[in-house]
Structure 1
Amino acid sequence: MARRMRIATYNVNGVRGRLDVLLRWLEMRQPDVVCLQELKAPQAAFPAAALEKAGYGAVWHGQARWNGVAILSRGDTPIETRRGLAGEPDDAQSRYIEAAVKGVIVGCLYLPNGNPAPGPKFDYKLRWFERLMARARVLLDSEAPVVLAGDYNVMPTDLDVYAPERWRDDALFRTEVREAYARLLDQGWCDALRALHPDEVLYTFWDYFRNRYARNSGLRIDHLLLSPPLQPRLRRAEVDREVRGWEKTSDHAPVWIDLADRTVRRRTKP
């Protein structure tokens, strides 16, 4: 049986308050690598001991009340390679962490929301996107196997939002943001979920208000992008939609991919 690596991204919307949900999902899905966003916990309050007991080592970049990102690895601890993005030395928001994990470079990101738009928050979002693209180019030029996973706060196309006409002026769907995402892909990245489900309506976020989850009025804003060395290894890409329906859960659902092991070779007859 061919081996695989399962990599997931999950905006937990508060890692301490939703730790039971996270642990339940980890047990259910058994991912090898997990990118978490919106920890909403300072560095010292991250539940490393509970995750270690569940079998996961971690590196994290915490922030009190807001933001925060982490990378988990089953059976070992990721080797951190970068914390934050270059370009704005005074930027104190915890939105990016990068690590070497099981032979892959993993960048975990939480891109700014940007609302209200236009305005300073939207300008910051666009600048942050440019800084991400600069780092993405460096990673591509290294020719290493790389995954950029997280909450991008972008619906790339009309297929990724339940009512496109209502979102045209929102910071998650404005033309400038979708064009930035398209330019990122044009560097050579592959949107894993869309690559295997090109025409399917798949959402990763449902607001708590107005019964959005039950009505399936969702958004696809959580993405895993693969560099060229990983693209031939992509086997599965799924959304664990049912997790959004659990009690005291996040407003996001986990998204995960399976990569074929790089050492797998087809057997041939002599």
Structure 2
Amino acid sequence: MKIATYNVNGINGRLPVLLQWLKEAQPDIVCLQELKAPQKRFPVKEINAAGYQAIWKGQKSWNGVAILAKDLEITEVQNTLPGDSEDLQSRYIEAIIDQMVICCLYLPNGNPCPGPKFDYKLDWIKRLKKRTHQLITMELPAIIIGDFNIIPGPEDVYKPERWENDALYRTEVRKAYNELLNKGWLDSIRTLYPDEKVYTFWDYLYKAYDRNAGIRLDHILLSPYLHSSLQSGGVDRHVRGWTKSSDHAPVWIELDK
């Protein structure tokens, strides 16, 4: 089974790119982030025509998450991250697919830092840790997948010294990410490529993609139940080079299921 995540950076404006990639890569499950479209403007007809069912949580102009599945039933569990009833940002959607819990997230950026946006990010991470602890305790086959807006370590960023005060790389967020791993979640891409520079995002400025001046923000974490199922994975880096593509590239893994 092939499972992927892709921050599309505007699903309607970049729909041709998304559809082209879906046709090429043929993933079974896809988690999308940064839809930048209200609920009624999600292109469900086009997604269905491509062979996928979908659930989504939109938001006008910002955020937005979705889960797509091909030839698999999707049962939505929740479309907000528990813990703050006043948080109206569309950043989390959770479903059961093929007896797995799929948690698709678009974690807050947190910049400028310090400030209220960074405080919101840290609070969001606390809520996420609580939910992930529940999944571990229940010993469920679960996947936390999406744009974490966290650079885990210096091996995940071009010139890390330039990012020390950025909310994507602050000590607090990297520590929180490592705490997830210490609780039993497996960073699938880093496990498959322990010693390689692997990036998933390249800025539009300064020819970052051409210079491979990237960062790794998009992650697929597996609960202990699924560790032994991991077979392969990678980043479809070439998609970032397509015309009118997102500044992120799709990330995928294959599980032996």
TM superposition score category, shorter chain reference: over 0.9
Name whichever of 84-93 and 113-122 sits farther off.
84-93
Partner secondary structure for residue 195 of structure 1:
helix
Measured against aligned partners, the alpha-carbon deviations of 1:209-263 in whole angstroms (never above 9, x if no partner) come to 11000000000000000001111000001000000000000000000000001xx
Amino acid at match of 1:225: L
Q: Does 1:73 align with 2:72?
A: no
Query: Identity rate of aligned residues, in percent?
Result: 58
Unmatched segments (≥5 aa) in structure 1: 262-270
Q: How does 1:125-136 map to 2 (within 5 A)?
A: 125-136=121-132
Work out the CA distance in 2 between the residues paired with 1:71 and 1:233.
21
- Alignment deviations for residues 67-109 of structure 1 (CA, whole Å, 9 cap, x no partner): 0000000024411011111221110000000001122110000
Match of 2:153 in 1: 157
Residues 59 and 77, structure 1, Cα contact 8 Å, conserved in 2: no
Unmatched segments (≥5 aa) in structure 2? none
CA contact (8 A) 1:56 1:77 kept: no
CA RMSD of aligned residues (A): 0.7
CA-to-aligned-CA distance 1:18-65 (integer Å, 9 cap, x gap): 110000000000000000000000001101110001100000010000
Secondary structure, counterpart of 1:40 in structure 2: coil
Aligned mates of 2:183, 2:81 — CA distance in 1:
18
Please report how far the alpha carbon of residue 187 of structure 1 lies from its aligned counterpart in structure 2 after TM superposition. 1.3
Question: Quick one: distance in 1 between partners of 2:228 and 2:73?
Answer: 26
SS in 1 for 2:30: strand
Could you tell me whether the CA contact under 8 Å between 1:238 and 1:255 is conserved in 2?
yes
SS at match of 1:159: helix
Taking structure 2 as the reference length, the TM-score comes to 0.99
Alignment of 1:96 onto 2:85 = no
d(CA) in 1 for partners of 2:40, 2:179: 37
Say yes or no: does 1:186 pair with 2:215.
Answer: no
Letter in 1 for 2:103: G
TM normalised by structure 1 equals 0.94
Structure 2 CA distance for aligned equivalents of residues 229 and 81 of structure 1: 19
Does structure 1 residue 8 correspond to structure 2 residue 24? Answer: no
Secondary structure of the residue aligned to 2:225 is coil
Residue of structure 1 in register with 2:250 after alignment: 254
CA distance in 2, matches of 1:102, 1:244: 30
- Number of equivalences: 257
Code of the aligned partner of 1:60: W
1:241 aligns with 2:223: no
**Aligned equivalents of 2:244, 2:5: Cα separation in 1:** 19
Counterpart amino acid of 1:196? Answer: L
Residue by residue, what CA displacement relative to the aligned partner does 1:160-201 show, whole Å, maximum 9, x if unpaired? 000100000000001011001111111110000000100100
Distance in structure 2 (CA, Å) of the matches to 1:167 and 1:32: 35
Aligned residues of 1:11 and 1:150 also touching (Cα < 8 A): yes
1-structure distance, mates of 2:236, 2:81: 29
SS at match of 2:66: strand
